[in-house]
Amino acid sequence: MKLDIKSMNLDELTAYLTENGFEKFRAKQVLSWIKQDASGFDEMTNIPARLRDFLSENTYFAKAEIVRTQRSKLDGTVKFLFQLYDGEYVEGVLMRYHHGLSVCISTQVGCKMGCTFCATGKSGFSRSLTASEMIAQIRSAELDAGERISNVVLMGMGEPFDNYDNVIRFLRLVSSEDSLHIGMRHITVSTCGIVPRMMDFADLQLQCGLSVSLHAPDDASRSRTMPVNRRYPISEVIDASKYYIKKTNRRISFEYALISGENDSDEYAQSLAALLSGMLCHVNLIPVNNVTGAGYRKSTIKRQNAFVNILSAAGVNATVRRTLGSDIDASCGQLKRNFTKGDV
Ligand code: SAH
Ligand code: SF4
């Protein structure tokens, strides 16, 4: 089995090269070529042929090659379909904000969590991504945009905390000078609430943003749409969220998809307000995208406003999220499904 060289940090590559009889300083040279987007070892002209041969025999270059794009005419949002080295596909989205470019990347091919509103959850699970495959998505999007990407969200396909070790490796690597040097404060991880990993993540005190997909204020309704709730109920998710706030002093975000007639009544807003009252948090309300054939409909504007007003009146920060790329069906899992209906 070949090693994923782009997922190695400087210390690991140095150890690997010296153990195999090469000079220590070669590691820095190799990483510098990788940072300059070398497409293979042949391009590494200051590396001796013996080392180049050794590396191509024992390691491989991970990639996330853009094979399709959809560009919004409304707001500059771009959706990408990336192909990985083994032919699997994942998707990503590039968004333009006034503070710069932000990219949403995938952490797994598919997802095991099975949320009923989510197209990724409906598509099954194939495998987890390595750290280098997460970085490759950012770099491919950056090259396509021709501009530096300043913010990253792990909100594409997959559950980041079901791929915990690779996600932590990614965070450490991408923020280092040897890689893209994107600071942790500019990265947000989104989870459906894998409680033990939320606690581990808090203990690392990484200064990285955390977003928790809540979507319902009580166990009965959350378990209806998010099977993971049967394993980790709301009270535990909230306790873990409070622990993260305590450990990092950072505000947490809660995602709440507004589904007409399912979780958008005044009563739901009131119980959500009671649940989150006094917490250092922000609630992102997202009118649900009907992508799974489950018949979910977006809440009406009137209900969206009523919901946000109840939260605000109770002192809970909340906003209805602006939808970007609405003309290119920019919602989790939708791109790949449409793209792979035979036209890739
Ligand atoms: N697995 C992680 C991150 C990927 S999903 C998580 O669940 O948090 C990214 C976000 O998109 C989550 O908040 C998820 O709940 C939301 N989402 C998925 N399908 C959606 C849909 N059809 N409409 C609105 N939001 C959706
Ligand atoms: Fe997985 Fe997140 Fe989709 Fe749920 S919402 S199925 S956790 S990707």
pLDDT of residue 135: 97
Residues 186-229: tens digit of each pLDDT: 999 999 999 999 999 999 999 899 999 999 999 999 999 999 99
Q: What is the 3-state secondary structure (H, E, C) of 204-266?
A: HCCCCEEEEECCCCCHHHHHHHCCHHHHCCHHHHHHHHHHHHHHHCCCEEEEEEEECCCCCCH
pLDDT at res. 67: 97
pLDDT, tens only, 128-154: 999 999 999 999 999 999 999 999 999
Query: H or E element: which one contains 319?
Result: strand 318-320
| 91 flagged as catalytic | yes
Is there a contact between 123 and 110 (Cβ–Cβ < 8 Å)?
yes
CB proximity list for 133: less than 8 A, separation 6 or greater: 62, 63, 64, 84, 90
Distance of CA 264 to the CA centre of its chain: 26
Ligand 2 centroid distance, CA of 113 (Å): 6
CA atoms of 49 and 9, how far apart (whole Å) = 22
% of the chain residues with pLDDT over 70? 95
What pLDDT does 335 receive?
A: 57
* Cβ of 276 below 6 Å from ligand 1: no
Return the pLDDT at 322.
72
Q: Which of 95, 115, 212, 228 to mutate to test the pocket of ligand 1 (most atoms within 8 A of CB)?
A: 115
**Mutation pick for ligand 2 pocket among 93, 105, 129, 192 (CB with most ligand atoms within 8 Å):** 192
Give the ligand at the shortest distance from the Cα of 109. Answer: 2
Binning the chain into helix, strand and coil, the percentages to the nearest 5 are 40, 20, 40
Assess whether 65 carries a catalytic annotation: no
Report the pLDDT averaged over residues 282-294. Answer: 89
pLDDT in tens, 297-321: 999 999 999 999 999 999 999 999 8
Distance CA 288, CA 304 (A): 11
Q: Which ligand is nearest to the CA of 122?
A: 2
From CA 36, how far away is CA 33, in angstroms rounded? 5
pTM of the complete model: 0.95
State the pLDDT at residue 344: 38
